[in-house]
Amino acid sequence: MSNRTAFVPYEERYLEQVRGTYNHFVAHTTVSFDLHPYTPEQMKALIEPLSDIYRSYVVLHEGEYAGYIMLTQHKKRPAFNVTGEMTIYLEPAFTGKGIGREAMAFLEETARELGFHSLIATICTENESSVALFTKLGYKQVSHYVEIAYKFDRWLDLVCLQKILN
């Protein structure tokens, strides 16, 4: 982590900023497959960890809110608790600055400390920069779902990338 970027545990005081970030991606991109903006209650349910083995953080860059990241549940069955899902949402003004790479390293380190064996990222194939970044950092594509979602009057594909941590 650089001296310029910090990852702080999510607190409710960040709810509206986090919601604004997410709703931007809902309204304008295929990064999220949601179709409608989230209410504060919906965002709170999404961002707050389900249990002590998961984490949510706010990204601060030079002290300014830059987005949020999460290590969440991949599947609900207990045998899957060794695998986490990584989520990174950065404000558009903060992309292309290496913050996503720092966030990935931070989440991987956190996941290792928590005893996770692997991490999964699910990404719309239109988000080519994210697919490229994850691939560059050692994630392998393990699935490709074709025309699995429909948004903005077009069919969307989804890929899952995985990294074994230990």
Q: Is the pLDDT of residue 156 over 70?
A: yes
Among 58, 32, 135, 121, which residue's Cα sits nearest to residue 84?
121
Question: Could you tell me the CATH number of the domain that includes residue 47?
Answer: 3.40.630.30
0.75 exceeded by the pTM? yes
Q: Which pLDDT value is given to residue 78?
A: 87
Q: Which two tokens stand for residue 35?
A: 């179709």
Q: Which pLDDT value is given to residue 2?
A: 59
Q: Which two tokens stand for residue 48?
A: 């707050």
Phi, psi of 52 (to 5 degrees): -70, -15
Tell me what the mean pLDDT of segment 9-27 comes to. 97
Q: Which pLDDT value is given to residue 1?
A: 52
Supply the range of the domain harboring residue 141.
Answer: 5-164
Q: What is the pLDDT of residues 98-134, one digit of tens each?
A: 999 999 999 999 999 999 999 999 999 999 999 999 9
Q: Is the pLDDT of residue 165 over 70?
A: yes
Instruction: Specify the DSSP element, H or E, that contains 95.
Output: none
pLDDT band for position 161 (50/70/90)? very high
In the predicted model, what is the mean pLDDT of the chain? 94
Instruction: Domain count for the chain, please give it.
Output: 1
